[in-house]
Chains A and B, each alone.
Chain A
Amino acid sequence: MASPEFATALNMKRSSMSPRTLFSSVMTVITFVCAALALIPLVAVLSYVLINGASSFRLSVFTQLPPAPGLTGGGFGNALVGTFLTVGIASLLSIPFGVLAAIFLAEFYRDTKLAETINFLTNVLSGVPSIVIGAFAYAFVVLATGTFSAVAGGFALAVLMLPTIVRTATESLESVPRDFRQAAIGLGATRFQTTVQIVLPAAIPAIITGVMLALARAAGETAPILFTASTSRYWVRSVWEPTATMARLVFDFATAPYKSQQELAWVGSLVLVALVLVTSILSRWIVRKR
């Protein structure tokens, strides 16, 4: 018997006008609108970059130097080289550092207080604003060497990439099945042999995927480059002099009053976005294939 204490009508019929049904429908519509709102800027940014970038695109942008103010044509060949150089320096510094640290965290000290603490600090480090990392690199390298340089820029990007690399490498190593290790240790392998010959090779594809994503992001980072690598109108001759980069070039030319420079900013953006997009899709494809 139904208790009279329950005020609602005990009717099982569906009613599209009941407050509950109405509320549900309204909320459902709201979430759909939210999803649409989130996708609009993405579509807008990507399509503008694609349209404006592609309309000014010529192959010579990859080989020529930036145009002088007011002149047309030119490209960003030196900035492209500079980006590869700074990101390359950043990789040399941060990848061995990050992977070795990850081996310690995943293989030797997993689930200990020390590893917990370092993981915590790694996450906090990844939250440090990139401009602050730029300031740090400025004090640490630029002031010490007395010059803006590709090394200073690479150092800043290395600090920026480090937490990502530590985290993805740790996760990759931890996802290697325990059986592998036990089998190796059961055969009398040392921890060094187990790690280098068994675990690391098994984790390498996943590590490479994570590192690729980190590199693509670093290539688009501008704030830490601004006053470390600075910029230059010439081709790179040495790692110890101011160096042009794609990200810095987009920033400078976006705020420049000349049409030809603004066009190059769009083309440069297209290159940066394409880089991120391709690595994202590629890494996703690799992850799915495994």
Chain B
Amino acid sequence: MATSPSQTAMPTERSQSSRVLDKAFVWLTGAFAIGVGFVLLAIAFRVGTDALPAIQKFGLSFLTTSRWSVNDEVFGALTQIYGTLVTSFIALLIAVPIGIGVALFLSEDYLPPRIKQPVVFLIELLAAIPSVVYGLWGIFVLIPLLKPFGIWLNTNFGWIPLFSTAPSGPGIYVAGIILSIMILPIIAAISRDSLVAVPAEIRQAAYGLGATRWETIFQVILPAAFSGIVGGIMLALGRAMGETMAVTMVIGNSNSISPSILSQGSTVSSLLANQFAEAGGLQVSSLMYAALILFGLTLVVNVLAEIIVRRFSLKL
């Protein structure tokens, strides 16, 4: 070795190029970060501009009429909007109580951790199964399984408008039930996180005052976790409204509005799934209009969910 380390010249100043590189790197990452937000805007903008001809032609009557005629170029999406809202509502009706029940089951000490972890994992897996697989299962298993039940409802309670049509296999109620299975893990997982986040000291305080387990849960734990749970439900609602494949495969895809949940119907997403590939002209524009409505609906729900969850997480 010719030179000892002390004699090696150490650069004392950062070279110009390294400083530029550093700055450029920060700028580059910043551009991509802002790009993520830009993608959201781009979706709204592009879908919006492509929907413009239909918006100009039909205006708000698109939301209030149900005629969808490719030949006459007259389009109204009331049936689909109705279908989206009804199926999502049925899904929430089933999934919210069960989901919160599951969350309580998993946040209390009923199971030893060794068993609890796999159960949590299994329920999370429910959310990971592709929508199209649920659809396949729905066609070949759920529809035949539910049909006798639908017929029973119709024969015994047919006087109630809700069950006033004879079930033909696919239908709104099947879509609602399959959606409830798909959103259950979201509600269960987020509710469980909110419940677990309630400090243990608060639970002990309630027990120390002589509250039973369920008095503690209802009067202390659930109220403390309330906003988190509501946020989870909103996210699940957003997911249910946008869910496409499973619903398309089991709802029947008919363009008719009926008060009966046993009848066939369609949703905004199933309309898009069925018609987009072969559409042209004003039909594409109308489909874009429908997509824009779906985008708007889920946007409102998701933003609300996001705000609720955020406020909650700041508080605890």
Q: Does A66 contact B (CB under 8 A)?
A: no
Q: Does A1 contact B (CB under 8 A)?
A: no
- Distance A280 CA – B126 CA, assembled complex (angstroms): 11
Residue of A nearest to B126 (CB): A42
- Known contacts A38-B102, A127-B298, A128-B242; A101/B212 CB under 8 A: no
Pair A27/B214 contact, Cβ less than 8 Å: yes
Pair B306/A24 contact, Cβ less than 8 Å: no
Prevailing SS type, chain A contact patch: helix
Interface size on A (CB < 8 Å)? 94
Contacting residues, chain B, for A260 (C-beta < 8 A): none
Stretch from A68-76, A176-184, A215-223 forming part of the interface with B? A215-223
Pair B32/A45 contact, Cβ less than 8 Å: no
Contacting residues, chain B, for A128 (C-beta < 8 A): 40, 43, 242, 295, 298-299, 302
- Known contacts A135-B287, A266-B136; A20/B212 CB under 8 A: yes
Interface size on B (CB < 8 Å)? 90
- Known contacts A129-B295, A192-B22, A226-B273; A38/B212 CB under 8 A: no
Binary CB contact string for chain B from 286 to 306 against chain A (1 if under 8 A, 0 otherwise): 011001001100110111011
Residue of A nearest to B242 (CB): A129
- Distance A246 CA – B28 CA, assembled complex (angstroms): 36
- Distance A38 CA – B140 CA, assembled complex (angstroms): 20
- Distance A7 CA – B295 CA, assembled complex (angstroms): 56
- Pick from A118, A192, A247: contact of B34, CB below 8 A: A118
Q: Does B171 contact A (CB under 8 A)?
A: no
Contacting residues, chain A, for B243 (C-beta < 8 A): 129
- Pick from B42, B125, B184, B273: contact of A223, CB below 8 A: B273
Contacting residues, chain A, for B135 (C-beta < 8 A): 251, 254
Q: Does A258 contact B (CB under 8 A)?
A: no
Q: Does A272 contact B (CB under 8 A)?
A: yes
Pair A255/B19 contact, Cβ less than 8 Å: no
Stretch from B57-65, B103-111, B159-167, B200-208 forming part of the interface with A? B103-111
Contacting residues, chain A, for B299 (C-beta < 8 A): 124, 127-128
Closest 7 CB pairs of A and B: A129-B242, A34-B101, A220-B130, A127-B302, A104-B29, A223-B244, A104-B33
